[in-house]
Chains A and B, each alone.
Chain A
Amino acid sequence: MTLLEITDLRGGYGPSMVLHGISLRVDEGEIVVVLGANGAGKTTTMRAIAGLISSKGAITLDGHSIIGMRPDKVVAAGIALVPQGRGTFAKLSVDDNLLIGAAKRRDRAGVKDDLERWYEVFPRLAERKKQPAGTLSGGEQQMLAIARALMNRPRLLLCDEPSLGLAPLVVREVFSLLTRINSEQQTAMLIVEQNAELALEIASRAYLLEAGTVVSEGTAASLRDSDAVRRAYLGY
């Protein structure tokens, strides 16, 4: 069952176009990864889905168009983006960061339960509940960003470069957590990654972007063996 469907997406920043007609889809409960070199349009695609930049084409969630919606409406529709750079509210406490993540929810008790739940999943965050989030390490902030995005109970989680700036061991930890969340909650995920090897391990399908278009797509296994992806490993 298709959850997110993007057709012929075009967009960019002001007059400079970055996306030249991207089409991709994410099925329910599925992990899909988008690979590509710097400047291929990965982040721009994510920002377009999240409503941060205006774009043309079609983006639908469950068949309902979400293109042109404000970011907070996109969240309400069921999509949460973990932005590149993690978007930490640095001066606010870890607790507050997570509560902000529940901005769209009205059920106080449910929010409280979720808070407990994520503290169980991320025990290191629980130890630092009252600390300013800016004092956390990079890996902890990445976990916080993921937990924050999940507080709104999205059906689709967008992750933009979750491995950026993290030590290899921490990256592995982040990815195994994503897998765990996916299998426990059936949250579909669209992950943009430069670390192709690891990303392909947890994904079922993958897309390869070059200069704002999809140049290759298929199952994770088939892309792992393709020449195009080998080139992407090198990142040009």
Chain B
Amino acid sequence: MQLFLEYLFAGISNGAIYAALALALVMVFRGTGTINFAQGEMALFTTYIAWGLTTKNVPVVLCLLIATAAGFVLGAVTERVLIRPIERKSLLATLIVLLGLFLALNSLDGILWGNQNYTMPSLFPNAVSSFITVGGARLYWANLGLWIVVAVLVGAMFQLFNHTRLGLHMRATASNRESASLSGIPVGRILMLGWGFSAAIGAIAGVLLTPLSPDSLGVGEMFPILIQASAAALFGGLDSPGGAVIAGLLMGVVEALLSGYVPAIGGQLQEAIAFVAIVLVLLVRPQGLFGSKEVERV
């Protein structure tokens, strides 16, 4: 029981991060119809910014806020400068530009901050002894704090989507871009905001995740997480924010339990498992678990 709970706690923490990034991916997909390959690298870039500030003795909370704002700007500028002019050409061109951004950002991280790994200070008490005991298992404050922040974040995003005018305009733009513009919605600005929010979520996820284990801030940190998050987004249905969150959590928990109890598939092979999951879901249900069916028109 104690072991199970410890696996479960670890799984929920990873799952919360997958869920947040999957939600970010879905936000971009709903607006622009593309997967942002650079989502993970944007998150990493802003996490480095936050880390850089902590080394200058800036309080961690402030670092988080600055990183979030930087993420928002990075996302919005990316949409305006790189995506908007290219997306009308073709999906292929957009995807290639995003791959380029992925590569460029990752390399830039390496150039700016070097190839060594760093330890990021946590927003929450992070000593070896800062945990509470639940059913005999240790639940660290850092984990609990992460859950709460992600829960609040996801809740706020859903509130925004479903109960505000901006959210309505975002949903309209996602549903039918042309019709939205004919209704007087400034579609370009809405898309820009969507990318901004999306990258801001990524920044928060990065700043929360990195302190969970020592020496984890490095150029290769975010990519495996992006893979898991895109698997989750696909699994939940690329156009379903709720699906992405549920699938992300599920994925984190299943992954932690599997690698805990079945060591043979643990560790190194996790990304391969995500791959198999993606292919199977796509074959059986191309629209994912909660997504809506794509209709091809002639």
Residues of A within 8 A of B (CB): 50, 52, 70-72, 75-76, 80-81, 83, 87-92, 96, 99-101, 103-104, 148-149, 152
Beta-carbon contacts under 8 Å, B170-191 to A: 171-172, 175-176, 178-188
Residues of A within 8 A of B169 (CB): 100, 103
Residues of B within 8 A of A100 (CB): 168-169, 172, 180, 183, 185
Contact B172 A81 (CB under 8 A): no
Residues of A within 8 A of B182 (CB): 50, 52, 71, 75, 80-81, 83, 87, 149
Residues of A within 8 A of B187 (CB): 71-72
Contact A96 B179 (CB under 8 A): no
Query: Could you say which of B176, B180, B187, B292 has the most chain A C-beta atoms within 10 Å of its C-beta?
Result: B176
Contact A87 B184 (CB under 8 A): no
Complex A-B: 13 CB contacts under 8 Å? A52-B181, A52-B182, A70-B181, A71-B184, A72-B186, A80-B182, A88-B179, A89-B176, A90-B175, A91-B292, A92-B175, A100-B168, A100-B172
Residues of A within 8 A of B179 (CB): 83, 87-89
Contact B178 A101 (CB under 8 A): no
How many interface contacts (CB-CB < 8 Å) are there between A and B?
70
A99 to B183, CA, bound (A): 10
Chain B residue at minimum C-beta to C-beta distance from A105? B184
A130 to B103, CA, bound (A): 46
Contact A76 B184 (CB under 8 A): yes
Besides the contacts A71-B184, A76-B184, A104-B184, what 15 more A-B pairs have beta carbons closer than 8 Å?
A50-B182, A72-B181, A72-B185, A72-B186, A80-B183, A80-B184, A90-B176, A91-B175, A91-B292, A100-B169, A100-B183, A103-B183, A149-B182, A149-B183, A152-B183
Looking at chain B, what size class is its interface with the partner chain?
10 to 19
Query: Could you say which of B168, B178, B181, B182 has the most chain A C-beta atoms within 10 Å of its C-beta?
Result: B182
B159 to chain A, nearest CB (A): 16
Chain A residue at minimum C-beta to C-beta distance from B185? A103
A96 to B171, CA, bound (A): 10
Contact B183 A101 (CB under 8 A): yes
Chain B residue at minimum C-beta to C-beta distance from A75? B184
Residues of B within 8 A of A75 (CB): 182-184
Contact B186 A87 (CB under 8 A): no
Residues of B within 8 A of A71 (CB): 178, 181-182, 184, 187
B27 to chain A, nearest CB (A): 16
B115 to chain A, nearest CB (A): 46
- What are the 7 A-B residue pairs with the smallest beta carbon separation, nearest first? A87-B179, A75-B184, A71-B181, A104-B184, A103-B184, A89-B175, A100-B172
B172 to chain A, nearest CB (A): 4
A136 to chain B, nearest CB (A): 15
A182 to B183, CA, bound (A): 20
Residues of B within 8 A of A104 (CB): 184
Chain A residue at minimum C-beta to C-beta distance from B186? A72
Contact A152 B168 (CB under 8 A): no
A48 to B11, CA, bound (A): 54
A90 to B174, CA, bound (A): 11
Q: What mask results when residues 151 to 173 of chain B are scored 1 for a CB within 8 Å of chain A, else 0?
A: 00000000000000000110110
A111 to chain B, nearest CB (A): 10
A75 to B175, CA, bound (A): 19
A234 to chain B, nearest CB (A): 26
Residues of B within 8 A of A101 (CB): 183
Contact B178 A52 (CB under 8 A): yes
